[in-house]
Amino acid sequence: MIEVRGLSKSFDQVEVLQDINATFKKGRVNQIIGKSGSGKSVLAKCIVGLIRPTQGEVVYDGESFQAMDKERKKLLRQEIGMLFQSSALFDSLTVLENVLFPLRMFATQSEHEMRERADFCLKRVNIVGQDAKYPAELSGGMQKRVGIARAIAMQPKYLFVDEPNSGLDPQTSIVIDNLIREITEEFDTTTIVITHDMNSLMGIADEVFFIHNKRLWWQGSRDELARSDNQELQDFIFAGSLMRQVRKALRGE
Amino acid sequence: MALLFHIGRYFMLLGEVFSKPERRSVYWKRTVEEMELLGVKSLGIVSLLSLFMGAVIAIQTKTNIDSPLIPFYVVGFTVRQSTILEFSPTIISLILAGKVGSTIAAEIGSMRVREQIDALDIMGVNSAGYLILPKILATALINPFLIIISMFLSIFGGWMAGVFTGIISSENYIAGVQWDFDPYIVSYALVKTVVFAVIIATVSAYQGYYTRGGTREVGISSTRAVVYSDVVILIANYLLTQLLLL
């Protein structure tokens, strides 16, 4: 479980996030949604410690990240897996080397055991026979899947996913979404997904956190979304005509 | 103020770079790879430059000797002194700042804008140490060899130019190269080389590591890496010369 307590962030006197309080539950897909530029990626970066919040703290299973010393932070980060919007695979390493990378840096297993683990992770995301290829030789969807394989290589307790469907076709997006869902259940991770893809939201979200006007404007389960009277949330979720049809169907109109 | 900010951040980055590596074997493997990329692959340009510079120094020295009182072996002596004292350690380092420095800044800068450095940080890897330390070690270890090769080739280039154009005999040239040789100047040159290698690697890595933006900014970082490395090398050259030769 990850708790965010009173988190605020400003850049050069410009406030981006204001007093965010949220609890991201274990074994659940927690989705942070909001317009482009609303600060959801900044929130994610504050949670993983890439950006230092101006105020507030992030608590990982009862332990404040801000209060940890450097070594403890390093150890905690070995329990974090992250899939970046751009996949962020190391382009001078092959697919297999990318997945082996965190294992070679931190694992105490033999090379054979590490190789077995990497093979397992690649098979888990349905990447077979691509070991020797470089990231640039893969499609966007395959890069995302390799990114997921790398993120789960160290058996993380916390999984962060930034815009998993950006640049992907609808079918591939569903594959990636389902993979995130399955991995969350299988490895019992605290999963936080940053997205503005409504299909993904409706498909895999357990808990939804809507960032608007620098604040956590609304939070609740996916089922509560359609029933919510929050105007800003409704305007955001059901902006498209297709989603308006979905709302009608959900409300039985 | 901006200069102080960059100097402070540069030394803070170095603090990160020299902190304890996560796994020494991985760092060492990367150091060997970097030695090939940054050192061995520079051998061609270093050899070419050295041969021709030695040749040019020999011809220019000979053509500028007017007085019959100046012995011919001065050509070999001048080529040797110019090569060992300045040309090989300083000019070759300035050339390497262009080749190696831009490569380092572009590589690290690209990793920054493609979020690969963020990925390293999130994994708990000391990204500064992992990316920069092997480059510092590689350049500091391999550049002295490059410079020694450069010294030999430059002196050989002078010999070729002198003998083949007939401006000086082989015996006179070799006598000049051997005349009044003080081995200390080689130590002085190698000390400079190692310092310049560290400057090239760290200044360029600094520019790449703090790149913000996209591909255009990566290009700007590469250019800055070369310019700032050159400026710092020139300042360091003056200070080291004063310290070690006076």
A88 to chain B, any CB pair closer than 8 A? The answer is: yes
Which DSSP symbol is given to B42? G
Residue A116 host element (H or E): helix A111-124
* Contact: A84, B22; criterion CB under 8 Å: no
Same domain for A136 and A185: no
Which DSSP symbol is given to A83? E
Q: Which domain holds residue A54?
A: 1-79+157-223
Same domain for A123 and A24: no
Same domain for A119 and A75: no
Strand pairing class (A215-221; A80-83):
unpaired
Helix (H, G, I), strand (E, B), or coil: what is residue B241?
A: helix
- Give the Cα separation of B12 and B17 in Å (integer): 9
Q: Which residues of B touch A160 (CB under 8 A)?
A: 122
Q: What is the ipTM of this complex?
A: 0.84
Closest CA to B95 of B158, B50, B32, B148: B50
A159 to chain B, any CB pair closer than 8 A? The answer is: no
* Contact: A160, B22; criterion CB under 8 Å: no
Same domain for A137 and A105: yes
Query: Is A143 in contact with A65 (CB distance < 8 Å)?
Result: no
Quickly tell me which residue has 């040797």 as its tokens. Answer: B80
Strand pairing class (A63-64; A2-11):
unpaired
In a domain, A103, yes or no: yes
Give the pLDDT mean for B9-35.
93
Considering only the beta carbons, identify the residue of A86, A91, A102 that sits closest to B123: A102
Q: In degrees to the nearest 10, what's the CA dihedral of B105, B131, B149, B224?
A: 20
Give the pLDDT mean for B216-240.
96
In a domain, A176, yes or no: yes
In a domain, A84, yes or no: no
Can you give the pLDDT of all 253 residues of chain A as single tens digits?
A: 999 999 999 998 899 999 999 999 999 999 999 888 888 889 999 999 989 999 999 999 999 999 999 889 988 999 999 998 888 999 999 999 999 999 999 988 899 999 999 999 999 888 889 999 999 999 988 999 999 999 999 989 999 998 888 878 888 888 888 889 988 998 899 999 998 888 888 888 899 999 998 899 999 988 888 778 888 888 888 776 666 777 677 666 6
Same domain for A203 and A109: no
Q: Give the per-residue pLDDT at A253.
A: 67
Closest CA of chain A from B136, distance in Å: 19
Same domain for A72 and A4: yes
In a domain, A209, yes or no: yes
In 10 A of CB B69, how many CB atoms?
6
Same domain for A109 and A14: no
Same domain for A69 and A6: yes
Q: What are the helix (H) ranges across chain A?
A: 40-48, 70-77, 95-106, 111-124, 140-152, 170-187, 198-204, 222-227, 231-237, 241-251
Considering only the beta carbons, identify the residue of A75, A86, A105 that sits closest to B114: A86
Same domain for A129 and A14: no
- The residue among A127, A155, A183 that closes a domain is A155
Same domain for A167 and A146: no
Q: Give the per-residue pLDDT at B67.
A: 79
In a domain, A97, yes or no: yes
In a domain, A107, yes or no: yes
Query: Is A107 in contact with A114 (CB distance < 8 Å)?
Result: yes
Structurally, chain A folds into a number of domains equal to: 2
- Give the Cα separation of A80 and B52 in Å (integer): 55
The reply to whether the predicted model has a pTM over 0.90 is no
Considering only alpha carbons, which residue of chain A is nearest residue B26?
Answer: A105
Which residues does B contribute to its contact with A (CB < 8 Å)? 22-23, 26, 111, 114-116, 118-119, 121-126
* Contact: B116, A105; criterion CB under 8 Å: no
In a domain, A232, yes or no: no
Which DSSP symbol is given to A70? H
* Contact: B122, A75; criterion CB under 8 Å: no
Helix (H, G, I), strand (E, B), or coil: what is residue A190?
A: strand
Q: Which residues of A touch B125 (CB under 8 A)?
A: 102, 105
> Which residues, listed in sequence order, are joined to residue A193 by a DSSP beta bridge?
A31, A161
Same domain for A165 and A71: yes
* Contact: B114, A91; criterion CB under 8 Å: yes
Which DSSP symbol is given to B69? T
Same domain for A66 and A97: no
Q: Give the per-residue pLDDT at B201.
A: 97
Residue B126 has pLDDT above 80, yes or no: yes
Q: Give the per-residue pLDDT at A250.
A: 67
CATH of the domain at A16: 3.40.50.300
Contacts of A174 (CB under 8 A, 6+ apart): A199, A203
**Mean of the per-residue pLDDT values of chain B:** 94
